[in-house]
Structure 1
Amino acid sequence: MVVFFGGGFIQGGGSQAIPPSAYPVLNVSSQNDIIFVYPNYRVNVFGLLPGKEIAEDADSDLNPGLLDQKAVLKWVNSYIEEFGGDKGNVGIWGQSAGAGSVVAQVLSTASSSSPPLFNHALASSPFWPKTYKYDAPEAQAIYDTMANLTNCTDSPLGTLPCLKSLDWETLAQAALVVAASHTWNTSSYTWAPVIDGSFLKTTLSQATVNAKSGGKGSIAIEEGWGMYNAHEGQNFVPSGLQNSTSTGIPPFNSTLNSFDSWLAGFLPSFSKSQLNAVKKLYPVNGTAETLPTYNTTFVRAGLIYRDVVLACPALWMSKAASKKGYLGEYTISPATHGSDTGYWNQVNVLQTTQPLIYDGYAGAFASFFATGDPNAHKLTNASQAGVPELGTGKEFVISSGGFTNVGIGELESRCAFWASVAGSVPV
């Protein structure tokens, strides 16, 4: 298993800790024999700088951070057998932007005529923000901002040679300014993969639009599994949306007017009728798969963000697998972004105080990593549900009481809407 680190495409690094990330998955059962590979890849300005200047320069690449990842997969294909591995049974996994990296590598198989370098993929809370073409105004603005912040705009050398001449610290500091510029006002981070015309040729929703439940899509992986957390969108929307008085920069509050302001910022290319369609799909008082009811602006906004950036990408990727697809939802409070990692990321007390959840959750991961089937080495007894195939119309739900299967009809309908408006919000 090749494990890509998370960090919003802004920061992070391959695991150096002992025991390493994912050790609880390896340790959950002796049934699974897994080798984990922890690569680095370039992020922010070093790995994801967009812009027409990059595309026009023969010595530069768009999405070099993603190309780093592909180079690792090629290395694994060439050398993993020297470590006792099987190049015919390779998987990829990540959480947050690490899972977004999984989505990117999976999506690239739709653009390639070569056999894929991996068989199965698990995306845990895949952070897959809007995917603009490299020279779209939104993407070009990032390049132009970097040039401005580093005093390269008027350089006689040209902006790109000027940027390349700078020390890494100057570039890194400017990249952090860019990253912070959209953190709350539009609830979207700025560093992200772009459609480059070669490695990534189309958006995820477009590549998977014809995928049926159970696979047979245009993505050449055999098994795909996407996970999302019930409330994880709330990590990315302004906290002021839950307060009666305005807070934050820019300020937001819990009123409907403030919600409308946030929504327009999150979806700047939407027409008034499209924004009204979103508000109808996500009403003031509504429900979702495992949410019997919600009636607050904060939860409403979080649900929209969760679906667009996290849950729908998890669903789309999994549905497009050529053999089997799976989807899961983590609902144990607070069920926010990253709150599920305690069961599989690092050794901690949860694994002994909550053995049912540990065995059922980490055990399903381990089984999927080893075999491509989360149920092949199931550790829980028959009273606990396994992971259903997407063809059943159900998802695997992790709750404090154990494991169940829940229908995903509502989620599929909402995601179908987002796919239908992908011309206005590139996902």
Structure 2
Amino acid sequence: MCPQRTVNGSEDCLYLGLYGRPWRRGAPLRPVVVTFYGGGFIQGSASFTLPPSAYPILNVSDASNMIFVYPNYRVNAFGFLPGREIAEDPFSDANAGLLDQAMALRWARKYISQFGGDPDRITIWGQSAGGGSVLAQTIADHQGSGNSATKGKERLFRQALASSPFWPKTYRIDAPEAQWRYNALAYLTGCAGPESLKCLKTVDVQKIREANLVIVDFHKYGTSSYEWGPVIDNVFLRRPLSAAAAPLKGNFITGYGMYNTHEGESFVPPGLKSTSDTAMAPFNTSVVSFDQWVSGYLPALSPPDIVKLKELYPKTGSAENVASYNDSFTRAGLIYRDSTLACPGYWMAGSAKDGGWVGEYTISPAEHASDVYWWNTINSAQQKDPLHYRGYAGALASFFMAGDPNALKLTASNISGLPELSTGQEWVIDDAEFTEVKLVQLKERCAFWKEVAPKMPI
């Protein structure tokens, strides 16, 4: 694995793994799924175990016959170091982790047919930061062609699926917030000074890893930020997602976004549900404390923006699948969920050339990653509850195989499939079944986030 937040890893980490059913040369080529792992852009590794992650999708039916490709990509400072020094150095790249992913896509495009994969039917998929990576690849300028998702006239992938996509604030490469990351790394490694970049390229890996630990947690509560992540570098990422993901204008065919009802609560300060502040969990349940969190998370929003924010997310409110709330923790969680997870996935799905789908997972606790056990590892729930397993994992498999989550639907005809986003509805996975819900609040809230996106920025 690549150097991590808490374990060493190795800089010699850019390799990938393949997994699929047996195939003989001359047999039909199969769809391909290139999978990017999550980990907040600060940690994570590709799946190299047997069975691999996502095996339950391959195993959900005989029709699920795709090849999974699991590439490593660099994370934290090794993969996402921004700053003026990086931008001005002709031998350095920002967004190196995203470039690693793009190289894996080019590899798959060129060589996957040797392993039984169809290079014209590649889907990119990821959860959390892996989903954020999917969003980045859909808006990226591959090889300076000026067209996202393409290399010249050659499309690198056909479909995109983002599960709970983590899309943190994407500053410009030399913005003060991005430059702080570079300066902090240089200072903590003893490289501050006029030759800082030269020093960083030669400093011991362990020093950089230790500095990562400090930087990652520096703004964890005040701004609900993990620091490392994509930046607008004017080369690979030229425009923010909110501007680049225009409806039906993407250079990929179909898109599918998933989010979980309460997953924003996994990222906001837990103190917002406590009656008093503590050193480990600052903030409390008071309105004053909530306002302090808002000012830290959204410092550039104007007073009229904040008024609109509080109208959309009032002290006592609701959401599509939240009947009601009256606490600061849920309120902040919805703000974070929509701005960083749900709306970015919604925008991506809507930008696909032939349209897309959006789904919401509501089964308690519906927090970040609460849904992965249906498709990430083999477990008893998949046997005890075949409806949810076949309905959810089956929809993912259908999307990978046919570019449509309903084309190879495994549930009965009276069970709801995914409504197209153009209908104004989302697919909902609840305790009992699958339903379709009209998007009203999320649509309005995502419009607000797109309006204020340049101030965040996202």
TM-score for the superposition, normalised by structure 1: 0.96
Q: Which amino acid aligns with 1:13?
A: S
Distance (whole Å) between structure 1 residues aligned to residue 141 and residue 415 of structure 2: 35
> Does the aligned pair in 2 maintain the 1:129–1:188 contact within 8 Å?
yes
Deviations 1:203-255 (A, max 9, x none): 111112x41xxxx22x2110000000000000000001001112344621000
Name the structure 1 match of 2:387.
356
The answer for the alignment partner of 1:403 in structure 2 is 434
1:275: Cα distance to partner?
1.7
Report the Cα distance in structure 2 between the residues aligned to 1:269 and 1:146, rounded to whole angstroms.
25
> Hey, what's the Cα distance between the residues in 1 that align with 2:188 and 2:279?
24
Measure how far apart 1:32 and its partner are. Answer: 2.0
Q: For residues 344 and 84 of structure 2, what CA distance do their matches in structure 1 show?
A: 27
State yes or no: 1:197 paired with 2:229. no
Q: Which residue of 2 aligns with 1:5?
A: 37
Which of 49, 56, 59 is the matching residue for 2:81?
49
Give, in whole Å, the separation in 2 of the partners of 1:365 and 1:422. Answer: 30
SS at structure 1 position matched to 2:326:
coil
SS of alignment partner, residue 319 of structure 2 = coil
Query: Which one of the candidate residues 146, 158, 167 is aligned to 1:128?
Result: 167
Does the 8 Å contact 1:264/1:275 carry over to 2? no
| Equivalent of 1:333 in 357, 361, 364 | 364
- 2:217 is the alignment partner of 1:185: no
Is 1:315 the counterpart of 2:346? The answer is yes
The structure-2 alpha-carbon separation of the partners of 1:67 and 1:172, relative to structure 1 and needing over 3 Å to count, comes to same
Give distance in 1, aligned partners of 2:290 and 2:132: 27
> Which consecutive unaligned segments of at least 5 residues does structure 2 have?
1-32
Q: How does 1:285-324 map to 2 (within 5 A)?
A: 285-324=316-355
Which secondary structure state, in structure 1, belongs to the residue aligned with residue 118 of structure 2? coil
Paired residue type of 2:235:
S
Task: Determine which of 422, 434, 437 is the counterpart of 1:391.
Answer: 422
Structure 1 runs of 4+ with >3 Å offset: none
Residue identity matched to 1:168: V
Select the residue among 191, 204, 217 that pairs with 1:167.
204
Task: List aligned pairs for 1:81-160, cutoff 5 A.
Answer: 81-108=113-140, 111-112=146-147, 114=152, 115-154=154-193, 158-160=195-197
- Residues 235-254 of structure 1 aligned to structure 2 (within 5 Å): 235-249=266-280, 251-254=282-285
Q: Which moved more, 1:247-256 or 1:42-51?
A: 247-256
Once the two structures are overlaid, the 10-residue window that deviates more, 172-181 or 72-81, is: 172-181
Does residue 59 (structure 1) correspond to residue 111 (structure 2)? The answer is no
CA deviations over 1:127-149 (Å, ceiling 9, x no partner) = 00011100001100000000111
Structure 1 residues 375, 248: CA separation in 2 closer, same or farther (over 3 Å shift)?
A: farther
CA root-mean-square deviation:
1.2
**C-alpha distance in structure 1 between counterparts of 2:225 and 2:429, whole Å:** 27
Displacement of 1:326 in angstroms is 0.5
Matched, 1:255 2:271: no
**Are the aligned partners of 1:185 and 1:250 in contact in 2 as well (CA < 8 Å)?**
no
Richer in strand (by share): 2
Q: What amino acid does structure 2 have at the position aligned with 1:100?
A: G
Deviation of the 1:17 alpha carbon: 1.8
Instruction: Tell me which residue corresponds to 2:24.
Output: none
Q: Find the residue that maps to 1:202 and give its secondary structure.
A: coil
Cα–Cα, structure 1 residues 314 and 248, in superposed 2: closer, same or farther, change >3 Å?
farther
The 8 Å contact of residues 415 and 433 in structure 2, kept in 1 or not, is answered as: yes
Greater relative CO, 1 or 2 (CA 8 Å, sep 6+): 1
SS at match of 1:87: strand
- Retained in 1: the 8 A contact 2:260–2:367? yes
Q: Secondary structure at the match of 2:435?
A: strand
Question: Relative to structure 2, which stretch is displaced further, 241-250 or 31-40?
Answer: 241-250
* CA-CA distance at 1:29 after TM superposition: 0.6
Q: Secondary structure at the match of 2:329?
A: helix
Cα separation, 2, equivalents of 1:237 and 1:257: 16
The share of aligned pairs that are identical, in percent, is 53
Query: Residues 109 and 116 of structure 1 are in contact (CA less than 8 Å); yes or no, is this contact kept in structure 2?
Result: no
Shift of the alpha carbon at 1:109? 5.2
| Equivalence for 2:51 | 19
- Looking at structure 2, the residues matched to 67 and 239 of structure 1 have their Cα atoms a distance apart, in angstroms, of 35
Residue 165 of structure 1 aligns to a residue whose secondary structure is coil
**What amino acid maps onto 2:373 in structure 1?**
G
Residue by residue, what CA displacement relative to the aligned partner does 1:264-284 show, whole Å, maximum 9, x if unpaired? 000111222222221111000
1:406: Cα distance to partner? 0.5
Deviates more, 1:380-389 or 1:330-339: 380-389
Distance in 2, Cα, partners of 1:234 & 1:138: 24
Q: Distance in 1 between matches of 2:413 and 2:276?
A: 50
1:240–1:248 contact (8 Å) kept in structure 2: no
Q: Deviations over 1:359-406 (max 9, x none)?
A: 000000000001100011100002210011101100110011010011
Alpha-carbon distance in 2 for matches of 1:404, 1:137: 45
Matched with 2:19 is: none
Write the distance in 2 (CA, Å) between the matches of 1:179 and 1:170. Answer: 14
Q: Which of 248, 251, 259 is the equivalent residue of 1:220?
A: 251
Aligned to 1:232: 263
Distance 1:20 1:181, change over 3 A: same
**Take 1:143 and 1:354, find their aligned partners in 2: how far apart are those partners?**
48
What amino acid maps onto 1:146 in structure 2?
Answer: L
1:176 is displaced (CA, Å) by 1.8
Instruction: Give me the TM-score of the superposition, normalised by structure 2.
Output: 0.90
* 1:146/1:178 contact within 8 Å kept: yes
